[in-house]
Amino acid sequence: MRWANLLVLCPVASYQLAAFPFAALFHHLSASGRLSPTARYISLLAGGCLLAGQAMGSYAVLLLIPMAGSVLILLSASPAHVHTWAFSLQMSWQTLCHLGLRTPGYFPSRSAVILSAVMLLTQKVTSLALDVHEGTVTLQPSQGLLQRALPLCSYLLFFPALLGGPLCSFRRFRAQIEFPGTSHRPLGAAGQRCLCALALQVLRTQLEGQLATMQGCAGLSCVHSMWTQALLFKLAYYSHWMLDEALLEAAGFGPEAGQGDLSGSDLWVLETTNRVAVFARTWNKSTSRWLRRLIFQRCPAQPLLATFAFSAWWHGLQPGQVFGFLCWAIMVEADYRIHPFLRSRAASRGAKLLYHGATWLCTQLIVSYILVAVESESFSELHLLWTSSNSILPLSYSLALLLLLLTKKPKQN
């Protein structure tokens, strides 16, 4: 069992909670007009540097180097080539960080915090580079170098989104800096999200104790063990996303409706949907939208497979991640084809209820299988998953996909 991604949430949560007073103070001073736009940029940048130093120590240089390189590219490269250069630099650096920090001798919490920050930096850099490439953002070349660089540095390192949070576009960031009064959000919204995160964390702690009492598994008990492990991962991520958005709310950068990583309606959809594809689109929504824009909409061939393959690369290309994301791509493709086939044959009310119930159960088990695979640390853990009864359902979905592809009638001219 791989617990690194769970362990990282504890130190990250402590840093996020410690940043709440500063976020609230920043929002109060900005909304009251006591800080000029330049002072707001500087405050957010200084806060990000301090938080990086506190959370990462001397390894914060691993974040500052690609940030500086990306700013140079954004300021010097032409719009036609800025995305290619920024993407190449950021993904190359991130891959080196994944390879270097996965070696023995690093504390899991410290290395995971660094990698998380670098991955979030990649999102912001590539998103901004695409905006410049597409002409939706102009960096005002008539201004001086410092005036152009300061907003970019502040955006890439601003402390409310340094260690987590949904992706905030540069246009929205700049608008909220220039016109802070239009982004007023009460602290009550941040408090509600913190309470939700606390409740989810308490529930996860209770389930963790239950999982610790399990002694191995055989047959159907393996299914229950896998589902419990996956639920632990989901609750950890849910609480983490809630806390991230709460910090952004407190600083006045709360996402627009439907643009965050997790809302109450998203949580309901994730746990009640009977479609693997719907789960994939709703899980970590801002990252899903980023992947769709960066890869899916720009890939000329096999965009679904390319998107999940890139997601495995972005996450670190560990064995479990490669297998898990490629399995996810196959399950989504199967989902697109199996559901129309089943819906067309569910005519009566009872058949429709059976269809929804059975496909919901299948979706929950397949998602659990994928999450446990992605969090597997080694080939030995993957082998245990492959050889367990948990693999029956994904293999059945894959076989159904193959049969539907083989029996598909060729299109007539």
Residue 217 has pLDDT above 70, yes or no: no
How many angstroms separate the CA atoms of 205 and 311, rounded?
29
pLDDT digits (tens, 9 = 90+) for 136-165: 998 877 677 888 899 999 999 999 999 988
* Predicted TM-score of the model (pTM): 0.90
Lowest pLDDT segment from 12-21, 279-288, 302-311, 371-380? 12-21
Residue 74 has pLDDT above 90, yes or no: yes
- Residue written as tokens 């791509």? 329
Q: Which amino acid, 5?
A: N
More confident: 196 or 366: 366
Query: What DSSP character marks residue 142?
Result: T
Whether 157 and 65 have beta carbons less than 8 Å apart is answered as: no
DSSP 292-304: IIIIITT-SS-HH
Whether 73 and 138 have beta carbons less than 8 Å apart is answered as: no
pLDDT digits (tens, 9 = 90+) for 92-120: 999 999 988 876 655 556 788 899 999 99
Residue 253 confidence (pLDDT): 87
73 Cβ contact list (under 8 Å, min separation 6): 82, 85, 86, 89, 129
Query: If we measure between CA atoms, which residue out of 92, 37, 55 comes closest to residue 70?
Result: 92
Whether 184 and 263 have beta carbons less than 8 Å apart is answered as: no
| Angle between the N-to-C axes of helices 319-343 and 392-406, in degrees from 0 to 180, rounded to the nearest 10 | 60
How many angstroms separate the CA atoms of 331 and 387, rounded?
19
- Residue written as tokens 């991520």? 237
Residue 225 has pLDDT above 80, yes or no: yes
CA-angle at 317, arms to 312 and 321, nearest 5°: 60
Residue 212 confidence (pLDDT): 61
Structure tokens at 350: 């009872």
Residue 202 confidence (pLDDT): 87
Query: Which candidate in 28, 284, 339, 356 is catalytic?
Result: 284
Residue 283 has pLDDT above 60, yes or no: yes
Q: Report the Cα–Cα distance between both ends of the chain, in Å, rounded.
A: 53
Backbone angles phi, psi at 238, to 5 degrees: -60, -50
More confident: 244 or 260: 244
Query: Which candidate in 315, 339, 390, 413 is catalytic?
Result: 315
Integer Rg of the chain from CA: 22
**Residue 294, CB-side half-sphere exposure with 13 Å CA sphere:** 27
Rounded-to-10 torsion of CA 18, 20, 22, 24: -170
pLDDT digits (tens, 9 = 90+) for 183-212: 445 577 888 888 888 888 888 888 877 666
For the segment 48-54, the average pLDDT, to the nearest whole number, is: 94
Residue 409's pLDDT band (boundaries 50, 70, 90)? low
Average pLDDT of every residue of the chain: 87
Residue 2 has pLDDT above 60, yes or no: no
Q: Is 315 a catalytic residue?
A: yes
